[in-house]
Amino acid sequence: MTTEQWSQLSSDAFNAALFAYIGAMLVSFAYLAFRKERLHTAATAIGIIGLLANGVSIITRAIAAGRTPWGNMYEYSSLLTFLMVLGYLWIVEARARVRTVGGFVYALAVFTMAMAVSFFYVGPAALMPALNSYWRQIHVTSMIVASSLLGIGCLLTIVYLVKLSSERRSTARLAAQVPPPIMGASVDTSDPSSPPDYAGAGDEPVGNVEQDRRIGLPPSATLDALAYRFIRFGFPVWTFGVICGAIWAQQTWGRYWGWDPKETWSFITWVIFAGYLHARATAGWKGVRAAAVALVGFVSLLITYYAVNLWIGQLHTYAT
């Protein structure tokens, strides 16, 4: 096969993966809404098809370009999506047996791939000389692995916050349930916040049942533990990746650190996730506040990944 054919195959597989992920996302959300076992099986199957197509796209891209397939933002995005979906299917679904958050992960995968096609597409080609370094390979690989782990971790943190607030609402609702009026008083049925008519039965956990039917997410503690697991794994990898980047920068530009925007933002992201890990060990910061720090970290991660290349520029722009 010629380079063009490999390149075409890579693009086709990329599109197939994108559509599969869109499908997996929709079916996963449907599973979350209707809780039919068949939907979950279908979502996982479509997700695996997408993962395979994604893998084919990466490998054929490597053949077309004649080098490791992580030389520009388009290729990073493809690999990042692959690792996120792989990490989700393997760790979250297969090992932690949490099934209901798939839609969110596929949504992030679809977003990453769509951004890659719309803003970063370039044909397969050789790299400029500054990129010919094995430190680059290690640096880029670690950064992508770390991004996928931190990305999933932050996503789970968002789901955790959603679940936590719904749990708190239902607890508050339970607490607010006063004994039903016996005489003289009445329940104002026009007020939507007033308890439904069957709320009178005090022993029935209204809030929890209703909420379980509405959002079938795992308990917040499970989500929190899972999110922590991903971020705890991602943080050292990110640290290692930044250090390898510094070694490469020392070799190439003669300075290991120069506060170039991408460097600065990778540092900011590092500091924020360091803050998250510390916050989890700090009284009064556990739970919601630590989760908020992780969310700030997520925004920082997205800026590090996208904004620097799209708008800010400088040294790392050659990667686009």
**Residue 202 Cβ vs another protein, minimum distance, rounded to whole Å:** 33
Candidate list 95, 213, 278, 286; residue touching another protein; CB under 8 A:
278
Among the listed residues 92, 22, 77, 90, the one whose alpha carbon sits nearest the alpha carbon of residue 50: 22
Q: Is 128 in the site for another protein (CB under 8 A)?
A: yes
Q: Which stretch binds another protein (CB under 8 A): 28-36, 47-55, 143-151, 282-290?
A: 282-290
Q: Is 63 in the site for another protein (CB under 8 A)?
A: no
Closer CB to another protein, residue 180 or residue 313? 313
Enumerate residues 287-306 that contact another protein by CB under 8 A. 293, 300, 303
Contact 55, 82 (CB under 8 A): yes
CA atoms within 13 A on the CB side of 279: 21
**Residue 92 Cβ vs another protein, minimum distance, rounded to whole Å:** 16
Candidate list 5, 41, 165, 282; residue touching another protein; CB under 8 A:
282
Candidate list 91, 138, 268, 295; residue touching another protein; CB under 8 A:
268
Q: Is 90 in the site for another protein (CB under 8 A)?
A: no
Distance, in Å, from the CA atom of 275 to the CA atom of 320, rounded to the nearest integer, reads 30
Candidate list 34, 121, 257, 318; residue touching another protein; CB under 8 A:
257
Q: Is 274 in the site for another protein (CB under 8 A)?
A: yes
Closer CB to another protein, residue 65 or residue 113? 65
Which amino acid is it at 250?
A: Q
Contact 89, 47 (CB under 8 A): yes
Candidate list 211, 261, 302, 309; residue touching another protein; CB under 8 A:
261
User: Which residues of the chain form contacts with another protein (CB under 8 A)?
Assistant: 125-126, 128-130, 132-133, 225, 232, 235-236, 239-240, 243, 246-248, 250-261, 264-265, 267-268, 271-272, 274-275, 277-279, 281-282, 284-285, 293, 300, 303, 307, 312, 314
